[in-house]
């Protein structure tokens, strides 16, 4: 059984073209440098859904199925760093990031797991 990291950003205005380009560059960089790409999913953003007009960005990434704690922690930290850069590239959004039932918190200008 695997765990996934989920992320959502909401605001009343859509992503600008510049924000979209910046996000693409960030995501590509982190997908290219992820050490366990063959064991897990890449960072994925869902297609924009205009029925949820305030959700400007959402996605999920499944963590490696390895039982090795170091691999899991590396993966969580890698994707939280990616999300930190994405959040900094998207102004004025309300974010929710969680690993299954555990929320991540925004502290000291970066995403961290609670506890």
For tokens 């969580």, what's the residue?
A: 76
* pTM over 0.85, yes/no: yes
What is the secondary structure of 12-70 as a DSSP string?
SSPPPHHHHHHHHHHHHHHHHH-TTTTTSPPP-BPPP-GGGTTEEEEEEEEPP----HH
Distance, in Å, from the CA atom of 30 to the CA atom of 24, rounded to the nearest integer, reads 10
Distance, in Å, from the CA atom of 10 to the CA atom of 39, rounded to the nearest integer, reads 30
The answer as to whether 2 is a domain residue is no
Please give the average per-residue pLDDT across 86-114, as a whole number. 95
Q: State residue 52's pLDDT score.
A: 73
Q: What is the pLDDT of residues 29-71, one digit of tens each?
A: 999 999 998 888 899 999 887 777 799 999 999 999 877 899 9
Distance, in Å, from the CA atom of 20 to the CA atom of 78, rounded to the nearest integer, reads 21
Domains: count for the chain: 1
Structural domain span for residue 67: 15-113
Please give the average per-residue pLDDT across 4-9, as a whole number. 96
The answer as to whether 7 is a domain residue is no
Please give the average per-residue pLDDT across 105-110, as a whole number. 95
């Amino acid at each position: 059984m695997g765990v996934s990291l989920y992320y959502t950003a909401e605001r009343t205005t859509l992503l600008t073209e510049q924000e979209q380009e910046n996000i693409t560059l960030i995501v590509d960089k982190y997908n290219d440098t992820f050490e366990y790409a063959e064991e897990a999913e890449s960072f994925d953003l869902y297609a924009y859904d205009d029925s949820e007009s305030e959700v400007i960005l959402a996605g999920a990434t499944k963590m490696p199925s390895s039982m090795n704690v170091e691999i899991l922690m590396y993966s969580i930290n890698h994707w939280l760093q990616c999300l930190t850069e994405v959040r900094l590239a998207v102004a004025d959004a309300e974010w929710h990031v969680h690993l299954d039932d555990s929320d991540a918190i925004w502290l000291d200008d970066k995403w961290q797991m609670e506890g």
